[in-house]
Amino acid sequence: MTKLSRTQTTFAPPVMEARRWLDGVTFPPDRPLINVSQAAPIDPPPAPLVAAMAEALQDPATHLYGPVLGLPELRAELAAHWSAHYGAEVRPENVAITAGCNQAFAASISAICGEGDEVLLPTPWYFNHKMWLDMDGVATVPLPTDEHLIPQTETASSLITERTRAIVLVSPNNPGGAEYPTETLRAFMKLAKAHDLKLIVDETYKDFDSRSGAPHDLLTEPEDRAHLIQLYSFSKAYRLTGHRVGAVIASEDLLPEIEKFLDTVTICTPQLGQRAALWGLRNLGQWVAGERDEILDRRAAIADNMPKLEAKGWKLLGLGAYFAYFEHPFEGSSADLAPKLVREASVLTLPGTMFMPASDPRGARQFRFAFANVNREEIGTLFDRLAALDWPQANKAERPLASKGLAQ
């Protein structure tokens, strides 16, 4: 029997799979495609940032290898930003710049895990996290969340073994949208310390949290630092998705291990993207605040339109940052209904099965809608199309299963 390669141990990229559902489909003029499948800005960066990037291209250093852990100026600027936001000292020596937040996660996992180790991943999960764990030879332990898509330490504690190395949390959450309460994050930090684990907190959507100020106090206790790894992305805040700039914020002793990974995989994060991120941190605070206001208005539009779907049996499970996460009322799995939505409603979205283990029946009843690229009017149109679906309804007695965490 032929042994599987590391990439063969995981599934195909979900977003690419979903895009193939568009092949051969023609959308009528009165029902154009609404694409809510991916959480990535489609507009270019603001004009002043584009101008700054053009100027950076004239600097010969932009085209050379840079320091493996990132430009010193960017590391220092992000450390200052992090310190101010969280009310705790973060030094440049705590910061590594990566080629996107996915690489920040991959580098962190490779730095702390060995073959056959285990990592707790809340479900619904961000599928690229699951894919990397598969490809790195690390076992994913699904951590079911509650009816509000919030993980609970009591459940997590029962899943920890001698092979567990980390617990991963994403807040604001992808795919569920949930903003984890400070108390939840603090409880998970206590759990991680008690078992000598790393708590990895992916804060890609930090800039779009609906709460003002710091969403947690995990940096305020010095003894917690050795257990905490924070991940960040510049892609969403400054519309730099194609330039691949992210970051790891962690204890100094972890960064040499991160450096080994980065040097082997990319040598250095693309210089142009780093210079753009640096300019953004220094100059675009007010602009990002305006972007946050727009996202919060679109979030409000989801809530405003929700009665249309509630009347048809839909349930909103999570809402925040770029995402709305739904339970649908129809017969059949979301894996089959999602391509059908493209053909019959001109809506491209991702089914919950892409965010859940195959053994978890909840995924079949769920959809993720990424609303960052649809305005308030388009959100109204989206909800009208969903409300108009006349597909066969599932047995109502079966629906509560989709909202409950799996029994332990």
Residue, of 408 and 212, whose pLDDT is higher: 212
b/e string for 366-391 if b means 16 or more Cβ within 10 A? bbbbbbbbbeeebbebbbebbeebee
Question: What pLDDT does residue 222 have?
Answer: 86
Give the structural domain span for 99: 47-284
Does the pLDDT of residue 400 top 80, yes or no?
A: no
Beta carbons of 202 and 172 less than 8 angstroms apart = no
- State pLDDT tens for residues 117-157: 999 999 999 999 999 999 999 999 999 999 999 999 999 99
Three-class SS string for 177-236? CCCCCHHHHHHHHHHHHHCCCEEEEECCCHHHCCCCCCCCCCCCCHHHHHHEEEEEECHH
Let me know whether 332 and 280 are in one domain.
no
C-alpha distances out from residue 373 to 155, 239, 347, 377, 379, Å: 35, 12, 13, 12, 10
Domain boundary among 284, 299, 319: 284
Let me know whether 266 and 294 are in one domain.
no
Q: How far is Cα 130 from Cα 14, in angstroms, rounded to an integer?
A: 12
Average confidence (pLDDT) over 308-321: 96
Let me know whether 141 and 192 are in one domain.
yes
CATH of the domain at 249: 3.40.640.10
The pLDDT mean for the chain works out to: 95
Let me know whether 253 and 113 are in one domain.
yes
Tell me the β-bridge partners of 351: 367
Q: Please check whether residue 1 lies inside any domain of the structure.
A: no
Q: Please check whether residue 374 lies inside any domain of the structure.
A: yes
Q: How far is Cα 252 from Cα 89, in angstroms, rounded to an integer?
A: 13
- State pLDDT tens for residues 65-93: 999 999 999 999 999 999 999 999 999 99
Q: How far is Cα 109 from Cα 135, in angstroms, rounded to an integer?
A: 11
Q: Please check whether residue 408 lies inside any domain of the structure.
A: no
Average confidence (pLDDT) over 48-61: 97
Question: What pLDDT does residue 404 have?
Answer: 44
Q: Please check whether residue 2 lies inside any domain of the structure.
A: no
Residue 399's pLDDT band (boundaries 50, 70, 90)?
Answer: low
Let me know whether 60 and 150 are in one domain.
yes
Domain boundary among 263, 284, 305: 284
Residue 405's pLDDT band (boundaries 50, 70, 90)?
Answer: very low
Q: How far apart are the first and last CA of the chain?
A: 34
Q: Please check whether residue 389 lies inside any domain of the structure.
A: yes
Q: How many domains does the chain have?
A: 2
Let me know whether 168 and 271 are in one domain.
yes
CATH of the domain at 385: 3.90.1150.10
Q: How far is Cα 230 from Cα 232, in angstroms, rounded to an integer?
A: 7
Residue 249's pLDDT band (boundaries 50, 70, 90)?
Answer: very high
Question: What pLDDT does residue 80 have?
Answer: 98
Q: Please check whether residue 190 lies inside any domain of the structure.
A: yes
Does the pLDDT of residue 403 top 70, yes or no?
A: no
Domain boundary among 284, 315, 347: 284
Let me know whether 252 and 313 are in one domain.
no
Let me know whether 51 and 36 are in one domain.
no
Residue type, 388: A
Residue 1's pLDDT band (boundaries 50, 70, 90)?
Answer: confident
